[in-house]
Structure 1
Amino acid sequence: MLDLLLWLLGYQLVGEALVRGMGWQMPGPVMGLLLLFSTLWLRRAVPAALQRETPRFLGHMSLLFIPAGGALLAYAPMLSAHGWQLALIMLASSLATLLATGLVLKLLLRGRRY
Protein backbone atom coordinates (compact mmCIF):
# COMPACT_ATOMS: atom_id res chain seq x y z
CA MET A 1 0.00 0.00 0.00
CA LEU A 2 2.96 2.30 0.60
CA ASP A 3 3.89 2.08 -3.09
CA LEU A 4 0.43 3.27 -4.12
CA LEU A 5 0.46 6.15 -1.63
CA LEU A 6 3.89 7.22 -2.85
CA TRP A 7 2.67 7.19 -6.46
CA LEU A 8 -0.44 9.23 -5.64
CA LEU A 9 1.26 11.71 -3.32
CA GLY A 10 4.18 12.11 -5.71
CA TYR A 11 1.92 13.00 -8.60
CA GLN A 12 -0.12 15.30 -6.37
CA LEU A 13 3.07 17.08 -5.28
CA VAL A 14 4.27 17.47 -8.86
CA GLY A 15 0.83 18.70 -9.92
CA GLU A 16 0.75 21.21 -7.06
CA ALA A 17 4.23 22.48 -7.92
CA LEU A 18 3.37 22.77 -11.61
CA VAL A 19 0.13 24.65 -10.97
CA ARG A 20 1.72 27.05 -8.49
CA GLY A 21 4.81 27.54 -10.64
CA MET A 22 2.81 28.34 -13.76
CA GLY A 23 0.16 30.38 -11.93
CA TRP A 24 -2.71 28.32 -13.35
CA GLN A 25 -6.14 28.52 -11.74
CA MET A 26 -6.51 24.77 -11.26
CA PRO A 27 -6.31 22.54 -8.20
CA GLY A 28 -2.94 20.82 -7.84
CA PRO A 29 -4.43 17.37 -7.19
CA VAL A 30 -6.41 17.59 -10.44
CA MET A 31 -3.21 18.36 -12.34
CA GLY A 32 -1.55 15.45 -10.53
CA LEU A 33 -4.34 13.13 -11.65
CA LEU A 34 -3.96 14.35 -15.24
CA LEU A 35 -0.22 13.69 -15.05
CA LEU A 36 -0.81 10.21 -13.61
CA PHE A 37 -3.34 9.45 -16.35
CA SER A 38 -0.90 10.71 -18.99
CA THR A 39 1.89 8.55 -17.59
CA LEU A 40 -0.27 5.44 -17.56
CA TRP A 41 -1.54 6.18 -21.06
CA LEU A 42 1.96 6.69 -22.44
CA ARG A 43 3.22 3.50 -20.76
CA ARG A 44 0.21 1.55 -22.05
CA ALA A 45 0.40 -0.50 -18.86
CA VAL A 46 -0.36 -0.15 -15.17
CA PRO A 47 2.60 -0.77 -12.84
CA ALA A 48 2.30 -3.85 -10.64
CA ALA A 49 2.14 -1.79 -7.43
CA LEU A 50 -0.84 0.20 -8.67
CA GLN A 51 -2.57 -2.85 -10.07
CA ARG A 52 -2.09 -4.84 -6.87
CA GLU A 53 -2.93 -2.20 -4.25
CA THR A 54 -5.67 -0.10 -5.87
CA PRO A 55 -8.61 -2.39 -4.94
CA ARG A 56 -7.56 -2.40 -1.29
CA PHE A 57 -7.09 1.37 -1.33
CA LEU A 58 -10.52 1.96 -2.86
CA GLY A 59 -12.05 0.04 0.04
CA HIS A 60 -11.02 2.90 2.34
CA MET A 61 -12.19 5.79 0.15
CA SER A 62 -15.25 6.32 2.36
CA LEU A 63 -12.92 7.92 4.93
CA LEU A 64 -12.58 10.88 2.60
CA PHE A 65 -16.24 11.75 3.16
CA ILE A 66 -15.73 12.49 6.87
CA PRO A 67 -14.60 16.12 6.27
CA ALA A 68 -17.55 16.65 3.93
CA GLY A 69 -19.91 15.41 6.64
CA GLY A 70 -18.37 17.85 9.11
CA ALA A 71 -18.85 20.66 6.61
CA LEU A 72 -22.53 19.75 6.33
CA LEU A 73 -22.87 20.22 10.07
CA ALA A 74 -20.90 23.47 10.05
CA TYR A 75 -22.98 24.98 7.24
CA ALA A 76 -26.37 23.67 8.39
CA PRO A 77 -27.96 27.16 8.67
CA MET A 78 -26.95 28.07 5.12
CA LEU A 79 -28.14 24.69 3.82
CA SER A 80 -31.53 25.09 5.47
CA ALA A 81 -31.92 28.58 3.96
CA HIS A 82 -30.74 27.70 0.43
CA GLY A 83 -31.14 23.93 0.32
CA TRP A 84 -33.60 23.73 -2.56
CA GLN A 85 -31.39 25.96 -4.72
CA LEU A 86 -28.34 23.83 -4.00
CA ALA A 87 -30.31 20.66 -4.76
CA LEU A 88 -31.47 22.15 -8.08
CA ILE A 89 -27.90 23.12 -8.99
CA MET A 90 -26.62 19.62 -8.12
CA LEU A 91 -29.38 18.01 -10.19
CA ALA A 92 -28.69 20.24 -13.19
CA SER A 93 -24.93 19.74 -13.02
CA SER A 94 -25.34 15.96 -12.67
CA LEU A 95 -27.60 15.85 -15.72
CA ALA A 96 -25.18 18.02 -17.70
CA THR A 97 -22.30 15.72 -16.77
CA LEU A 98 -24.28 12.63 -17.71
CA LEU A 99 -25.26 14.12 -21.08
CA ALA A 100 -21.71 15.28 -21.84
CA THR A 101 -20.31 11.86 -20.95
CA GLY A 102 -22.87 10.14 -23.15
CA LEU A 103 -22.13 12.43 -26.09
CA VAL A 104 -18.37 11.94 -25.76
CA LEU A 105 -18.85 8.15 -25.58
CA LYS A 106 -21.10 8.26 -28.63
CA LEU A 107 -18.49 10.26 -30.56
CA LEU A 108 -15.66 7.94 -29.53
CA LEU A 109 -17.59 4.80 -30.44
CA ARG A 110 -18.99 6.19 -33.69
CA GLY A 111 -16.73 4.28 -36.07
CA ARG A 112 -16.47 1.02 -34.13
CA ARG A 113 -18.14 -2.25 -34.94
CA TYR A 114 -19.41 -4.50 -32.18
Structure 2
Amino acid sequence: MVTGIIALLLFQLGGEVLSRMFSLPLPGPVLAMVALVVGMVLSPKLLELIRPVASFLLQNLSLLFVPVGVGAVARLSELSSNALALGAALIGSTLLAICVGALTFEWVARLTGNTDEEEDA
Protein backbone atom coordinates (compact mmCIF):
# COMPACT_ATOMS: atom_id res chain seq x y z
CA MET A 1 0.00 0.00 0.00
CA VAL A 2 2.92 2.35 0.67
CA THR A 3 4.15 1.92 -2.90
CA GLY A 4 0.67 2.82 -4.16
CA ILE A 5 0.69 6.02 -2.11
CA ILE A 6 4.15 6.85 -3.43
CA ALA A 7 2.92 6.26 -6.99
CA LEU A 8 -0.04 8.60 -6.44
CA LEU A 9 2.23 11.27 -4.97
CA LEU A 10 4.65 10.94 -7.89
CA PHE A 11 1.81 11.39 -10.37
CA GLN A 12 0.66 14.42 -8.37
CA LEU A 13 4.17 15.86 -8.42
CA GLY A 14 4.51 15.21 -12.14
CA GLY A 15 1.22 16.97 -12.85
CA GLU A 16 2.24 19.99 -10.79
CA VAL A 17 5.65 20.17 -12.47
CA LEU A 18 4.13 19.98 -15.96
CA SER A 19 1.48 22.56 -15.15
CA ARG A 20 3.95 25.06 -13.74
CA MET A 21 6.82 24.39 -16.13
CA PHE A 22 4.73 24.94 -19.25
CA SER A 23 2.29 27.48 -17.70
CA LEU A 24 -0.64 25.30 -18.68
CA PRO A 25 -4.20 26.45 -17.96
CA LEU A 26 -4.95 23.05 -16.38
CA PRO A 27 -4.18 22.49 -12.71
CA GLY A 28 -1.54 19.94 -11.79
CA PRO A 29 -4.00 17.53 -10.15
CA VAL A 30 -6.05 17.34 -13.37
CA LEU A 31 -2.94 16.55 -15.41
CA ALA A 32 -1.95 13.99 -12.79
CA MET A 33 -5.34 12.27 -12.98
CA VAL A 34 -5.21 12.13 -16.78
CA ALA A 35 -1.70 10.68 -16.66
CA LEU A 36 -2.77 8.19 -13.98
CA VAL A 37 -5.76 6.99 -16.01
CA VAL A 38 -3.59 6.61 -19.12
CA GLY A 39 -0.97 4.80 -17.05
CA MET A 40 -3.54 2.40 -15.60
CA VAL A 41 -4.98 1.66 -19.04
CA LEU A 42 -1.53 0.95 -20.45
CA SER A 43 -0.23 -0.95 -17.43
CA PRO A 44 -2.50 -3.30 -15.47
CA LYS A 45 0.28 -3.58 -12.87
CA LEU A 46 -0.18 0.10 -12.05
CA LEU A 47 -3.92 -0.46 -11.68
CA GLU A 48 -3.35 -3.27 -9.19
CA LEU A 49 -0.82 -1.11 -7.32
CA ILE A 50 -3.27 1.79 -6.99
CA ARG A 51 -6.44 -0.24 -6.27
CA PRO A 52 -5.88 -0.80 -2.49
CA VAL A 53 -4.97 2.84 -1.93
CA ALA A 54 -7.99 4.04 -3.90
CA SER A 55 -10.30 1.73 -1.93
CA PHE A 56 -8.88 2.98 1.36
CA LEU A 57 -9.26 6.63 0.33
CA LEU A 58 -12.84 6.07 -0.84
CA GLN A 59 -13.76 4.31 2.40
CA ASN A 60 -12.45 7.30 4.39
CA LEU A 61 -13.54 10.05 2.02
CA SER A 62 -15.79 11.72 4.59
CA LEU A 63 -12.76 12.49 6.77
CA LEU A 64 -11.26 14.53 3.95
CA PHE A 65 -14.17 16.98 4.15
CA VAL A 66 -13.50 17.91 7.80
CA PRO A 67 -10.83 20.56 7.00
CA VAL A 68 -13.14 22.14 4.40
CA GLY A 69 -15.96 22.34 6.93
CA VAL A 70 -13.70 23.86 9.57
CA GLY A 71 -12.43 26.40 7.04
CA ALA A 72 -15.97 27.33 6.04
CA VAL A 73 -17.00 27.88 9.66
CA ALA A 74 -13.86 29.95 10.27
CA ARG A 75 -14.76 32.21 7.34
CA LEU A 76 -18.50 32.33 7.97
CA SER A 77 -18.64 36.14 7.99
CA GLU A 78 -17.02 36.32 4.54
CA LEU A 79 -19.30 33.60 3.23
CA SER A 80 -22.42 35.35 4.53
CA SER A 81 -21.40 38.69 3.02
CA ASN A 82 -21.07 37.00 -0.39
CA ALA A 83 -24.04 34.66 0.02
CA LEU A 84 -25.95 35.89 -3.04
CA ALA A 85 -22.99 35.54 -5.39
CA LEU A 86 -22.05 32.15 -3.93
CA GLY A 87 -25.63 30.91 -4.20
CA ALA A 88 -25.91 32.04 -7.81
CA ALA A 89 -22.58 30.41 -8.66
CA LEU A 90 -23.59 27.14 -6.98
CA ILE A 91 -27.00 26.99 -8.67
CA GLY A 92 -25.61 28.03 -12.05
CA SER A 93 -22.74 25.57 -11.98
CA THR A 94 -25.03 22.76 -10.82
CA LEU A 95 -27.47 23.39 -13.66
CA LEU A 96 -24.61 23.60 -16.14
CA ALA A 97 -23.14 20.33 -14.86
CA ILE A 98 -26.51 18.58 -15.16
CA CYS A 99 -26.99 19.84 -18.73
CA VAL A 100 -23.47 18.90 -19.80
CA GLY A 101 -23.86 15.48 -18.19
CA ALA A 102 -27.17 14.85 -19.98
CA LEU A 103 -25.79 15.98 -23.34
CA THR A 104 -22.70 13.83 -22.86
CA PHE A 105 -24.90 10.84 -22.01
CA GLU A 106 -26.97 11.37 -25.17
CA TRP A 107 -23.84 11.74 -27.28
CA VAL A 108 -22.31 8.53 -25.91
CA ALA A 109 -25.62 6.70 -26.37
CA ARG A 110 -25.73 7.73 -30.03
CA LEU A 111 -22.06 6.93 -30.47
CA THR A 112 -22.50 3.41 -29.08
CA GLY A 113 -25.85 2.85 -30.77
CA ASN A 114 -27.82 2.54 -27.52
CA THR A 115 -30.81 4.80 -28.06
CA ASP A 116 -34.41 4.70 -26.86
CA GLU A 117 -35.72 4.55 -30.43
CA GLU A 118 -34.46 0.97 -30.75
CA GLU A 119 -36.28 -0.13 -27.58
CA ASP A 120 -39.60 1.43 -28.64
CA ALA A 121 -39.66 -0.34 -32.02
Q: SS of the residue aligned with 1:26?
A: coil
* Runs of 5+ unmatched residues, structure 2: 116-121
Which residue number corresponds to residue 24 of structure 2?
Answer: 24
Compare CA radii of gyration and give the structure with the larger one: 2
Please tell me the residue identity of whatever aligns with 1:29.
Answer: P
Give the aligned length.
Answer: 114
Which residue number corresponds to residue 72 of structure 1?
Answer: 72
- Give the deviation of 1:14 after TM superposition: 0.6
Which residue number corresponds to residue 62 of structure 2?
Answer: 62
TM-score by length of 2: 0.79
Q: How does 1:32-71 map to 2 (within 5 A)?
A: 32-43=32-43, 47-71=47-71
Task: Indicate yes or no: 2:104 matched with 1:101.
Answer: no
Bigger proportion of residues as helix: 2
* Runs of 5+ unmatched residues, structure 1: none
Cα deviation per residue 1:27-65 (whole Å; 9 max; x = unaligned)?
A: 211111111122223447862222344222211122221
- Give the deviation of 1:24 after TM superposition: 1.5
- In structure 2, C-alpha distance between the alignment counterparts of 1:94 and 1:44, rounded to whole Å: 35
The answer to whether the 8 Å contact 2:12/2:28 transfers is yes
- In structure 2, C-alpha distance between the alignment counterparts of 1:96 and 1:63, rounded to whole Å: 28
Farther off after superposition, 37-46 or 60-69:
37-46
Task: Indicate yes or no: 2:89 matched with 1:86.
Answer: no
- In structure 1, C-alpha distance between the alignment counterparts of 2:6 and 2:83, rounded to whole Å: 39
The answer to whether the 8 Å contact 2:11/2:32 transfers is yes
Runs of 4+ in structure 1 off by over 4 angstroms are: 43-46
